Structure 1
């Protein structure tokens, strides 16, 4: 995957339901922009979405750009994980991002179970054995000052065979410096997450309700004061992309709510 001096990917959330036409058209429209490929989420926030594997294959065929498959221990037992990894190789997918997956909401646990038949370290090893370039997630848990613990966790993933890591979204240079410093001696490339803000409410929600994301107060105020919050969010994303170029091996940009058109204002 990391065959460029600075690798940029775009995260994709698969659609609800069986029709990929809208998302594929949106991705095709941005495919000419200067970035490496797409990174396809798997049932984010523990809600059902189209198969990430199927969408990866369609994206690669439609855009001629690589697609990175997300795979979680939450949704599969060991048999299914192995099948997914082999299936990815068979369909021309070369890179996988493995994670434990978001927690199932309490209200959904009556009809949705968490599997986790294998832990994240086992899944990293399985992915490497399947011949896939294997990445992991780095969550610094800013809401609980968990940076040191997260760095130790990442080292264990590297020992298991992880070849790159993707951070949670960052929103200022101070946060980027902190993460870059904590991961400097990890020994693998680190990709910085960038999630463009849309509205003041979006910024407040991410800061207060989403674990692993901290939106600085100054930026939240900028969003409240902005005449055009969408443009302000895109401007911050451009700032963070520039910051990433001096600190990390790449950036994973995560357009919110299927607004892939924001990529024209960022790249």
Structure 2
């Protein structure tokens, strides 16, 4: 019986990641080649997912095509690798209530010119022929960023087989494919081209994937599917890592069912524990037959990012001070940003910080906006500079331009990997790390370029560095601070803290550091916002009490706003007790929240009168 028959009456459970799961087991090589050299390892992965409750097992063939195997010198082994992969899956699934589907991954990334469509079609057809010669129950086309590539491959597959075909896109941002194609239009088009199951995988965790499905109606014929990542990826020690929270993943599965999803699995970072949580969560949940589609105005998704900014060291030494992050917008309208900068200036902020394409997503150039608010509104800008987007030539040129414009408050950050942003195939440069960038800035303060040439003048940069006070290894983060001080950092900005108790701990381990520290506080906007930050954003954990407080006002926008402000004020009270500097992060450009909190900090610092708190 086809798994499509099963999906008419119930939600099926897919499996999770194969590559990242093998990587967690210590394997760092061509995972598809393991089908030949170590099939036992592959079978163990399939078996683990079966035991967890998977009803659909995908073959270990995501990159088993000629183009990708060429990287490993295996381009002549396409057929044998794919057939061995099917054998591995079938040997495990035998006599069990599950289906085996042949997996084929997308090839194109951001740079379309890297491979012509003719090359892609040849590579795709060769792999598909190998899979169709084996005993499989369907085909899975997954992780396609380019809709032209997916459409072309789907049409070819439909001509070759009557087996069920699952077609998955990967999104640039919520609800939209690369090139601006709305998700609902793309899935409808895939249905018209012959796909039996359509949906998404990779790139996004449950939070953003659910948001995307809210605008997708149930289709006439095809079923919907979702294979989210475990979380947004973090970049540690030269590798991508994912947070693991199976319970959150399982709870999200219930919401996927409510959005009409009939097939739920997992992508990067997911494990058998995640899949078991999904299976347990939806076992008795009936699929929906009707769905209310949400029609909403698109908003830029702004979540907290690791590249935190800092303000002037001299300010902290003189008095209590506050700086506020206001991210440049993703769209060309700057009215809200400019108005927010003016209001924050009126509230008494010492600087407004501007991120540099945070979360690897393009925004209006922070240099341009910094120049505008400095020149026209006398707002002091603090500009972030990431190592990700510019090579060494570009970085030095950029710094020279900042100096020429009279902008000298800078934050040096490595930058989030492009994999999590709007253009996952874009090149991450990383000629320098944040330590090296700090040293370059201070070297230019001596009038010397990176190569040692005379610049003809000295810059006067005040250089900030990021500090992550969250996680289980606070002492290790402090050692990184000490190293950044050795490279020349003048001050630090931290990621947001959501625990009053944590503030005192941070003070104890950093009190020997003489450089100013601005401790981060970010007001929460809703329970969903809190859960997303806690479960999907690397480096952020909320207390149970905070999550429960936001949960109690879930669905009430006004009450959520009030509760978020109150929680932030309680944190500010503790920050004020131990630190001279506060760093406020504005959520979703909602500057009215950080304006209110700025006034609260100024009142505590005796810099404004109580009656002005409500103005």
Shorter-chain TM band: over 0.9
Any residues of structure 2 matched to 1:212-223 within 5 Å, and which? 212-223=539-550
* 1:258 equivalent in alignment to 2:589: yes
Contact between 2:362 and 2:422, CA under 8 Å: does it hold in 1? no
Partner of 2:508: helix, strand, or coil?
helix
1:64 offset after TM fit, Å?
A: 0.9
TM-score by length of 1: 0.93
Any residues of structure 2 matched to 1:24-43 within 5 Å, and which? 24-43=338-357
Structure 1 gap segments, 5+ residues each: none
1:8 offset after TM fit, Å?
A: 0.4
1:18 offset after TM fit, Å?
A: 3.4
Residue among 321, 325, 334 paired with 1:7: 321
Q: What is residue 359 of structure 2 aligned with on the other side?
A: 45
Q: Measured at CA, do residues 136 and 110 of structure 1 come closer, stay the same or move farther in structure 2, by a change above 3 Å?
A: closer
Q: How many residues align?
A: 265
The answer to which structure, 1 or 2, has the higher relative contact order (CA under 8 A, 6+ apart) is 1
Deviates more, 1:156-165 or 1:31-40: 31-40
Q: What is residue 479 of structure 2 aligned with on the other side?
A: 152
Any residues of structure 2 matched to 1:102-181 within 5 Å, and which? 102-105=416-419, 111-130=425-444, 131-142=460-471, 145-181=472-508
| CA deviation map 1:150-196 (0-9, x unaligned) | 11111110000001011110112211112222222123111101111
Residue among 576, 580, 588 paired with 1:249: 580
Larger radius of gyration: 2
* 1:98 equivalent in alignment to 2:429: no
Contact between 2:469 and 2:497, CA under 8 Å: does it hold in 1? no
| CA deviation map 1:83-119 (0-9, x unaligned) | 1111111112121011111222268665311111012
State the alpha-carbon separation in 2 of the partners of residues 141 and 116 from structure 1.
25
Contact between 1:28 and 1:62, CA under 8 Å: does it hold in 2? no
Structure 2 gap segments, 5+ residues each: 1-311, 445-459, 600-615
State the alpha-carbon separation in 2 of the partners of residues 255 and 23 from structure 1.
11
State the alpha-carbon separation in 2 of the partners of residues 179 and 234 from structure 1.
22
State the alpha-carbon separation in 2 of the partners of residues 24 and 109 from structure 1.
27
Partner of 1:185: helix, strand, or coil?
coil
* 1:230 equivalent in alignment to 2:561: yes
Contact between 2:524 and 2:561, CA under 8 Å: does it hold in 1? yes
Q: What is residue 56 of structure 1 aligned with on the other side?
A: 370
TM-score by length of 2: 0.42
